[in-house]
Structure 1
Amino acid sequence: MPDLLLELFSEEIPARMQRAAARDLRALVTNALVDRGFVYEGAAAYVTPRRIALNVVGLPAVGQDVREERKGPRVGAPDAAIQGFLKSAGLASLDHAKIVADAKKGEFYVAVIEKPGRRTLDVLAEVLPDIVRSFPWPKSMRWGAGSAAPGALRWVRPLHAIVATFGPETEEPEVVPFAVDGIAAGDTTRGHRFMAAAAGMAGPIRVKRFDDYVATLERAKVVLDLDRRKDIILSEAKTLSFAQGLDLVEDEGLLEEVGGLVEWPVVLMGTFEEEFLAIPPEVIRATIRANQKCFVLRRPDGSLANRFLLVANIEASDDGAAIAAGNARVVRARLADARHFWETDLKALPDYRVRTDLKPLDQRLQKLIDSRSVFHEKLGTQGERVERIVSLAQRLAPVVGADPALASRAGHLAKADLTTEMVGEFPELQGLMGRYYATAQGEDARVAAAIEDHYRPLGPSDRVPSDPVGVAVALADKLDTLAGFWAIDEKPTGSKDPYALRRAALGVIRLVLENGLKLPLVGICHEAEPETAKRSMPRLPEAFGGRVVSADAVSLLAFFHDRLKVHLREQGARHDLIDAVLSLDGQDDLLLVVRRVEALGRFLASEDGRSLLAGVKRAANILRIEEKKDGVSYGQGPDVTLILERGEPAEKALVEALHAAREQAAAAVGREDFAAAMQALARLRGPVDTFFDQVTVNADDPALRRNRLELLGEIRTATRDVADFSRIEG
């Protein structure tokens, strides 16, 4: 079957856009074909800095024939309706329509429209120009003399040529006949910007189909597949490193970027002076990575080496010596700047009017406070936020087992590095540089570590702080953010989360669970609400667990519950068990929620658990039907005297079992022994089964019926002390 080869050749495409552009091209073309009834066997897209390519295999040469019956007006309808029907159906007269009889509606005209399948080549010529014109680049430009004309082509960089061929492997492919803004599709491409000529392939290169295209580009020094270029870079980088007795510091993000900067990757090694290794290694790596897109190397002892790896786009006649030397000159200059920032940050600020007894990092904090830098217009300045973090860290310190004084000091200095020269140059080093500066000025090691760790975890794969001081400040930072933005009604909506509140909530959850913390979230979130927000927006009270807190704190707890559900489901927990626990009142201690879910899962995996669940669900179903019929809710508890006087033996046994089980389960829940609570409920299995086997709930005697329904309500209430069994599937 015929294949399509499409290439859009342009000036250099930014590396960050390449992967998405390849996906978009594949989706746009294949979706357009499928929408028109053209199926295919497979499709793959490729990208280099100067081209996006697509190969669609197994397309039919001609589409399927189409037969359509179009219903028209009734026989004898007005002439205007008849003429409209003929025009829409493409019929010359009613002689080309047939009459169909309907028992209810009478006779009406039907047009039978048969269309032969369209040639795939014609369909491609129709859809491809529109795809090129409407391509969803994040940013695009116009160029040339006609760029100001209405509807002028926009592309990420100037588009120079289009390859579009279609045909079977055994025949000469045809060029898809279309043009976009004067750029006609053809069957010629170009090789490497600099090396194609040396390979004897200067100028336009004719290609036929995909296999021929890939091989031709390879001879012209272009590796079409981005993933293959990445593999080449990684393999050569490791080989060069090994040859020098060093290890490559792998960086997937950088590898993806440099793979998008070259069409023919060549890995080279450069050096810089040993004296620069006195700079923190993270600074060296950030400098070399950000400015030169180079990889750093590590010695066997784990320390950085004074060497780096760069990826060139050409094979130089001197084996890359001049390229490596040029990059080394730039790296030295950048490292000299970084060293200047580092040394400047370690000094006091003689030209800044602050107390001379303050240490350098404290002076940086004072500069941040005096600048009145705004954190958010409704949440105050950065200085006010620091005060909130300090207060909240002190409040949390006893809960997490931290020294309140150390937590206060760490919270006080946590944002001080935001005004340093180094963080100004490399914002991604905030927190880390604070640790270095805090260590340099003699702060407690736990304080220094907490300054770095208070931003963590930054994502699902990031590590979680474990030192109590770091945990206290990390929680304070995230809870202040969440409570503040909740209080001013800046909550995530749909896919939009400009303040990364979902990440902050997940960070709190992981801090709590992985450190085994019992944290009453609603009360803490209520206390964490900024005074600025309280002044600007009224606080609506709401009862929660015997306390009166703000409605925002309760709403924020629901957000935590949603994030916790996602987190637990990713770890394999059943969604219905999570819902069964979270539906209980007062569930703001996330650690206890998780322990309940785990205990409930183990209980329901046992025979006793499964049997009790069946009995509870049976009771709940009966209650739902009878409560709807009677217009009342049964949950006040049965009349024990009536059961003792007139009840069946199974009723009496169930009442006794319920009383004992509730007492034991409540005591177990009180001491947070959820396994014991489940075991107490397990003792209900036999009495519940016997009750349903031997007792008729809907007795003829109204008093007995009502009392037995109240007894079923007692079963429901007893199990709700542990979880809402009605939400459990099965």
Structure 2
Amino acid sequence: MPDLLLELRSEEIPARMQRRAAEDLKKLVTDALVARGFLYEGAKAFSTPRRLALHIAGLPARGEAVREERRGPRVGAPEAAVQGFLKGAGLTSLDQATTVTDPKKGEFYLAVIERPGRETLDVLAELLPEIIKNFPWPKSMRWGAASAEPGSLRWVRPLQSIVATFGPETETPEVVPFTVGGITAGTVTYGHRFLAPEPIEVRRFDDYIQALERAKVVLDPERRKDVILHDARDLAFARGLDLVEDEGLLDEVSGLVEWPVVLMGSFDESFLDIPAEAIRATIRANQKCFVLRKSGSEDLAPAFILVSNLVASDGGQAITAGNERVVRARLSDAKFFWETDKATRLEDRLPKLDTIVFHEKLGTQGARIARIAALAKDLAPLVGADPELAERAARLAKADLVTEMVGEFPELQGLMGRKYATLQGHHESVCAAIEEHYKPVGPSDRVPSDPVSIAVALADKLDTLAGFWAIDEKPTGSKDPFALRRAALGVIRLILDRGLRLRLLEQVGAADRSLAGRAGADPQDLLGFFADRLKVYLRDQGARHDLIDAVFALPGQDDLLMVVRRVEALGQFLDTEDGKNLLAGYKRAANILRIEEKKDNRAYDAAPDSTLAAAGEPAEQALAEALAKARETASAAVAREDFSGAMQALSTLRAPVDAFFQDVTVNAPDPKLRENRLLLLNALRAATREVAEFSKIEG
């Protein structure tokens, strides 16, 4: 079957945009084809710094013919209805329609519309220009004289050529005939800008990828990454060193070169006095290079790996020397920052934070630090930390934000603070908290274990949440500019991973009160936000969201550790036969109550009369006794946080509930008996609420 080859060649595409752009190109073209009825066998997109390419295999040469029957109005319908039918069906008169008789509705018109299958080449020529003109680049530009014209082509960088061919492997493919932005699709592309600048004619994908390889272009970004990684490892190994691997940097570098050439540079060993993280940040950020370790050691080596886009005649000596000069200058700056920062104690930097605005509605960084310090001190006893150490760590936690090193490399905040605090002789837990109070910053990030770090981390995140809730800057949809979802997830992970017993409403209230004079957060609303984040977190671990809702629906559920344990026990109970049957019985009781309460315009929420129950059916008496006992036992179990015991108490209700619905008529003729039986059903509803709100449970 025929294949499509599409290449869009331009000036350099930013590395950060390439992968997404390739995925977008594939999705846009394949979705458009499928929507038109053209199915395919496989598709793959590629990107380099200067091109996006797409190969779609197994497309039909022609679309299938379409036969559609369209029913019209009844015979004798108003003229307007008839004309609308003719226009929609593409008919010029009723002579082109048929008349069909329906035994129930009488005679009506029917149009049989037959459309021959379209040539795939024509369809491609129609859809590809529109996709190119409307391509969703995050940023795009116009260029040249045509840029002043309305509707002129926009692209991430000036588009230079288009290859678009379609046809079977056994024949010469045809060019897809279209023009976009003054560029006509053809069969000519170009290889590496410097190593192979001559034009290349290509017709099909296999020829294309081989021709690019000969012209010093590796089309597949994953293969470029593989080349860079293996060559870097081999070069490091040959020098007795280990590569410090960096997946993010590898992705970026592979998007900067079409023909990767791995080289090694070096720098003066005296620079190794700078913290390793600062060396790595300097070399990574400024030169996009990889650092190296001494073999079998965590110590950095005075060398680095760079990736060139050229095969140089001198073996890369000039390229390496140029990179070494820049690295030397950057490391000299880093060394100056390091030495300068060490000369000033962290405590002495705090007044500067009073002049830096954290948020116009929440005051300065200095004011925020004061709030975090007070909150950390209050939290400390609850997490097993020393209050004085927690307060001191919180006061110093943001001091490195005004250091030279963090000003140059913001990603080193916390880490550099820890190093400065260690050099200045602060307590080990204080030093750890300065670095770790930002953690965890994601679902896979490490959770601190030092109690002082935990206290400061909680205080930092709770202050952030309470503050932005107080000024009504909550996340909306996909927008979360202040990373509040991440902060809430951080609190959840700190509590659950470290088994902490905290009343969130109390802590949010304490954080809110420290805002002094601002509007104030709604603690219940913020607790609901935590509940939503907890649902996401537990759902990823396999828990049911409806069980979380069922537990959170009970009053006072702000101890997240106990919420999770209750959810776990509830899930285990509902997996048993007793649990499933009790849930079914509850739902039956709830439905009856809902119907009867609406009909009687009253709530059946009082306690049942045990004397009346005893005088009724045996199953009625048995249920009354079982409910009283189960509710008392479940309540006592919940009070001592024995949720499995509470579920076990509820499990004893299965048999009496089943017997009640089998043997007892709820809507008895005697009004008093009927009322008492409805109150018995309410007692079942009340008993289950000792452990969860069963009305929230699905199934």
Question: What TM-score, normalized to structure 1?
Answer: 0.90
CA distance in 2, matches of 1:664, 1:77: 73
Match for residue 654 of structure 2 among 655, 667, 685? 685
Aligned partner letter, 1:574: R
Q: How far does residue 69 in structure 1 lie from its aligned partner after superposition?
A: 5.7
Aligned twin of 1:595: 565
Corresponding position: 1:451 with 2:444: no
Match for residue 205 of structure 2 among 187, 210, 227? 210
Q: Is the 8 A contact 2:488 2:533 kept in 1?
A: yes
Q: Deviations over 1:421-448 (max 9, x none)?
A: 1111011111111111111211111111
Aligned twin of 1:223: 218
Aligned partner letter, 1:597: V
Shift in CA distance, 115/647, structure 1 to aligned 2, threshold 3 Å: closer
Aligned twin of 2:335: 339
Shift in CA distance, 247/89, structure 1 to aligned 2, threshold 3 Å: same
Shift in CA distance, 127/651, structure 1 to aligned 2, threshold 3 Å: closer
Corresponding position: 1:629 with 2:599: yes
Aligned twin of 2:46: 46
Aligned twin of 2:293: 298
Shift in CA distance, 80/221, structure 1 to aligned 2, threshold 3 Å: same
Aligned twin of 2:96: 97
Q: Is the 8 A contact 1:389 1:411 kept in 2?
A: yes
Q: How far does residue 87 in structure 1 lie from its aligned partner after superposition?
A: 7.5
Q: How does 1:474-489 map to 2 (within 5 A)?
A: 474-489=457-472
Aligned partner letter, 1:60: P
Q: How far does residue 330 in structure 1 lie from its aligned partner after superposition?
A: 1.4
Q: How far does residue 536 in structure 1 lie from its aligned partner after superposition?
A: 4.8
Q: Is the 8 A contact 1:512 1:518 kept in 2?
A: yes
Q: Give secondary structure in 1 for the equivalent of 2:147.
A: coil
CA distance in 1, matches of 2:469, 2:58: 54
Shift in CA distance, 690/145, structure 1 to aligned 2, threshold 3 Å: closer
Q: Give secondary structure in 2 for the equivalent of 1:205.
A: strand
Q: How far does residue 651 in structure 1 lie from its aligned partner after superposition?
A: 3.5
Q: How does 1:160-239 map to 2 (within 5 A)?
A: 160-196=160-196, 202-239=197-234
Aligned twin of 1:252: 247
Shift in CA distance, 76/399, structure 1 to aligned 2, threshold 3 Å: closer
Aligned partner letter, 1:335: L
Q: Is the 8 A contact 1:233 1:311 kept in 2?
A: yes
Q: Is the 8 A contact 1:165 1:176 kept in 2?
A: yes
Q: Is the 8 A contact 1:668 1:677 kept in 2?
A: yes
Q: Give secondary structure in 2 for the equivalent of 1:268.
A: strand
Q: Is the 8 A contact 2:353 2:366 kept in 1?
A: yes
Q: How far does residue 280 in structure 1 lie from its aligned partner after superposition?
A: 1.1
Q: Is the 8 A contact 2:100 2:110 kept in 1?
A: no
Q: How far does residue 654 in structure 1 lie from its aligned partner after superposition?
A: 3.2
Q: Deviations over 1:51-94 (max 9, x none)?
A: 10001111121222344566788989999999898777666x64
Q: Deviations over 1:14-56 (max 9, x none)?
A: 1000001101111121222222222222211100111100011
Aligned twin of 1:352: none
Stretch of structure 1 that moved more, 564-573 or 272-281: 272-281
Aligned twin of 1:30: 30
Aligned twin of 1:145: 145
Aligned twin of 1:567: 537
Q: How far does residue 179 in structure 1 lie from its aligned partner after superposition?
A: 1.4
CA distance in 2, matches of 1:31, 1:470: 50
Q: How far does residue 99 in structure 1 lie from its aligned partner after superposition?
A: 5.5
Aligned partner letter, 1:476: A
Q: How far does residue 561 in structure 1 lie from its aligned partner after superposition?
A: 0.3
Q: Give secondary structure in 2 for the equivalent of 1:186.
A: coil
Aligned partner letter, 2:463: D
Q: Is the 8 A contact 1:96 1:111 kept in 2?
A: no
Match for residue 323 of structure 1 among 319, 328, 331? 319
CA distance in 1, matches of 2:72, 2:325: 80
- Structure 2: runs of 5+ lacking an equivalent: none
Corresponding position: 1:656 with 2:632: no
CA distance in 2, matches of 1:125, 1:607: 62
Q: Give secondary structure in 2 for the equivalent of 1:154.
A: coil
Q: Give secondary structure in 2 for the equivalent of 1:535.
A: coil
Q: Give secondary structure in 2 for the equivalent of 1:147.
A: helix
Shift in CA distance, 98/576, structure 1 to aligned 2, threshold 3 Å: closer
CA distance in 1, matches of 2:113, 2:566: 65
Aligned twin of 2:373: 390
Q: Is the 8 A contact 1:8 1:161 kept in 2?
A: yes
- Structure 1: runs of 5+ lacking an equivalent: 197-201, 349-359, 540-549
Aligned partner letter, 2:609: D
CA distance in 2, matches of 1:462, 1:67: 57
Aligned partner letter, 2:472: D
Q: Give secondary structure in 1 for the equivalent of 2:146.
A: coil
CA distance in 2, matches of 1:247, 1:184: 49
Shift in CA distance, 707/262, structure 1 to aligned 2, threshold 3 Å: same
Instruction: Report % sequence identity.
Output: 70
Q: Is the 8 A contact 2:75 2:108 kept in 1?
A: yes
Aligned twin of 2:11: 11
Corresponding position: 1:642 with 2:641: no
Aligned twin of 2:517: 535
Match for residue 393 of structure 2 among 406, 410, 414? 410
Q: Give secondary structure in 2 for the equivalent of 1:156.
A: coil
